[in-house]
Amino acid sequence: MFALFLAATIHAAIPPEEAANTIILTEAGEKNLRIETVEAEETDFEETVFALGRINVAPGRRAVVSSRIPGRVVSVEAHIDTRIKMSSEALVIEARQPGDPPPRIRIPAPIGGLVSKVNVVEGQPVELTDSLVEILDLSTVHATAAVPEHLVSKLKEGMTARIRVLALGGKEFTAELAHIGAEVDAKSGTIEAAFHLPNEDYALRPGMRAEFSFVTGKRDAVLTVPRAALQGDATNRSVYRRHYDTTMKHAFVRIPVQVGTMNERSVEITAGLTAGDEVVTTGAYSLGFAGKGSVSLKDALDAAHGHPHNEDGSEITAEQQAAAKAGGATAEHHHHSHEMSALTKASLAANALLLVLLLAAAIRKPKEVQP
């Protein structure tokens, strides 16, 4: 019975580098590692500049509700974290002017949007300078990236960027660069690059973190694989490729590769793979720890092809078969010779014993009396 993860490291193979890096799993092992594969392919490759940033309220889309006269809050219709329509009643103030009853002032929402702050309660006195309610119009937001200043020369207004928002499960937006900041932040060494993003469903909220990939160039017919497939450090890059032998359904080979340019999605492969090679993406990292099993490449090939192989996985040649037959015949001859020799010795020993017994009987026989 195979174990959950079955693998073997073969020290001598054809070619040696392939067998030395061949990993063999069971069907259950491949499922438990959640192995997923894609084909290496020639695609249009985008060269990018990467930066981090956040979602912000667009300028002019934040409003503060205040009272033009001092008084007392009679009612509050604006509720935090809920939407309010433009011109709808936000709160009602009872003025301090004389009257019976005193005059009441209805204060409308100056813009429509999401109520982010409510700083008063019913019955609270208010002054002219008090900030009573704050409203954010989030129908359009700014996505602002903090770009390191040494990369600023690569930025141009109107260029495209992909914006990935982590709080939304990595949801990606595509937008054009609207404007570049006028100043570099001396403390962080970055400059602001802003994008306008439609946000009718209000899913994007101020403060959310975002990842920006500015597309600075594009090349066609570049052999690429997903970044998730790439393993190892900068000095020893590799990928796991499904074995070319389709009869071994759960076998993978670690292939050293040379890489070129990377972006947030893909990596350029300059040596080690060809278009159509099936490489592991999900599960590639775990696959590197599944290489200490008990089944050899020979056993896997024997089972897959229905005939025996050498220990390194190579086919047995006619010369090897002849030598094996000759060796078997010689061994059988030696075995029978050994058995005959033992029988002969036993027979001789029995005969000797019988002779001794006959001599003893003759000596003990009584002499006949002469008349």
Q: Are residues 235 and 229 in contact, defined by beta-carbon separation less than 8 angstroms?
A: no
Q: Which fold has domain 62-136?
A: OB fold (Dihydrolipoamide Acetyltransferase, E2P) (2.40.50)
Following DSSP, what letter does each residue of 333-361 receive, concatenated? HHHHHHHHHHHHHHHHHHHHHHHHHHHHH
Instruction: Let me know: does 174 contact 160? Beta carbons within 8 Å.
Output: yes
Per-residue tokens: 338? 């050994």
User: Where would I find the H helices in 188-317?
Assistant: 284-287, 297-305
Q: What single-letter DSSP state applies at residue 364?
A: H
CA distance 289 to 97: 80
What is the chain's pLDDT, residue by residue, as a tens digit (371 residues)?
A: 343 444 443 333 446 667 778 888 888 889 999 999 999 999 999 999 999 999 999 999 999 999 999 999 999 999 999 999 999 999 999 999 888 888 999 999 999 999 999 999 999 999 999 999 999 999 999 999 999 999 999 999 999 999 999 999 999 999 999 999 999 999 999 999 999 999 999 999 999 999 999 999 999 999 999 999 999 998 999 999 999 888 888 899 999 999 999 998 999 999 999 999 999 999 999 888 875 443 554 554 555 455 565 654 556 666 767 676 766 655 555 555 445 555 566 667 767 776 766 776 666 655 554 54
> 119: which 2 tokens?
């700083």
By the 8 A CB rule, do 86 and 101 touch? no
Name the residue among 123, 70, 116, 117 with its Cα closest to residue 97: 70
DSSP state letter for 102: P
DSSP β-bridge partners for residue 180: 193
Question: Token pair of 7, please?
Answer: 């693998």
Give me the residue spans of the domains in the chain: 62-136, 317-365
